[in-house]
Amino acid sequence: MTSVVSSPLRTVRIGSRKSQLALVQTYWVQEQLQKSFPDIKFEVHTMSTQGDKILDVALAKIGDKGLFTKELELGMINQEIDFAVHSLKDLPTNLPEGLTLACITERENPADALVVHEKYQDKQIDTLPEGAVVGTSSLRRLAQLRHHFPHLQFKDVRGNLNTRLAKLDAGEYDALILAAAGLQRLGMGDRVHQVIPKEVSLHAVGQGALGIECRAEDHEIISLLKAIEHPPTRDRCLAERAFLRDLEGGCQVPIGVNTELNGDNLTLTGIVASVDGQNLVQDSVSGKASDAEKLGNELANLLRQQGAQEILEQIFTEIQRGS
């Protein structure tokens, strides 16, 4: 009698940052792929990025978005992992040679959220008292909020979500501005005191969506990942990323967006603001969702004509001076 030896499952290695939010997002991707491909084993490999290690310095002063992706990208290039799961807003718009953005998943609410200390439970962003201390690590949020609420005091805040919330609850801040999507994914949706209207704060490029990066020539992995892509989110985010790429903006630049999709019509709104909130240009373009990246480039050119380039050059100069 001959015994039948079953062949081992094909193993696909998923790369993730070690943060709580990153792991929640990566395990969700793992679960979705496992449901679609039960004959493949998807295993998670974690890595610490430079951005995870430097928690006491403002992001604008320590580099670009690659802070949260470079180690994972090196892992893919060195064949240690097959793909990496990112918060799309952390993924640079220009990827290393040989890597590609293979998949964009369905977006959570991309808006910013106000989280308040218990003493301000009866307040909204526009009714916080003069001098209230608002924590944010984003120049994009800072610039827009300074524009609308110059009477508030803004203070940088770093650390993971639990650390930031602990600082708020301890009274170091009166309020925080955080991504609504991150709070929802961590089961902390009850901490969202107010979803900030887009008229006050346009969100970050890609905020609320996950971007999955892999080797450009790995067509089998790309084919697997397409099973969990969300085309409407993809179109919106590709327009946003093209807009940001054209303006050469990074996480340290106050650039905000909003996209709306009605059938096949995509409307992209973008803003470029000075850090002090004094100078601000904003406009919108509309067109076919199939022309998403073309719309992003069109909006970038439109804002450049209105003075966006001068605002950005001033910001880059200030950052280089370390101010």
Q: If DSSP states are collapsed to H, E and C, what string results for the chain? A: CCCCCCCCCEEEEEEEECCHHHHHHHHHHHHHHHHHCCCEEEEEEEECCHHHHCCCCCHHHCCCHHHHCHHHHHHHHCCCCCEEEEEHHHCCCCCCCCEEEEEECCCCCCCEEEEECHHHCCCCCCCCCCCCEEECCCHHHHHHHHHHCCCCEEECCCCCHHHHHHHHHCCCCCEEEEEHHHHHHCCCHHHCCEECCCCCCCECCCCCCEEEEEECCCHHHHHHHHHHCCHHHHHHHHHHHHHHHHHCCCCCCCEEEEEEEECCEEEEEEEEECCCCCCEEEEEEEEEHHHHHHHHHHHHHHHHHCCHHHHHHHHHHHHHHCC
Distance from C-alpha of 82 to C-alpha of 26, rounded to nearest angstrom: 13
Distance from C-alpha of 239 to C-alpha of 266, rounded to nearest angstrom: 9
CA distances from 150 to 127, 128, 136, 182 (A): 13, 12, 15, 27
Query: One of 52, 56, 64, 90 is an active-site residue; which one?
Result: 90
- Sign of the torsion formed by the C-alpha atoms of 98, 52, 198 and 185: positive
Instruction: Name which of 189, 163, 205 is nearest 52 in CA terms.
Output: 163
Query: Is 112 one of the annotated active-site residues of the chain?
Result: no
- The residues annotated with a catalytic role in the active site are 90
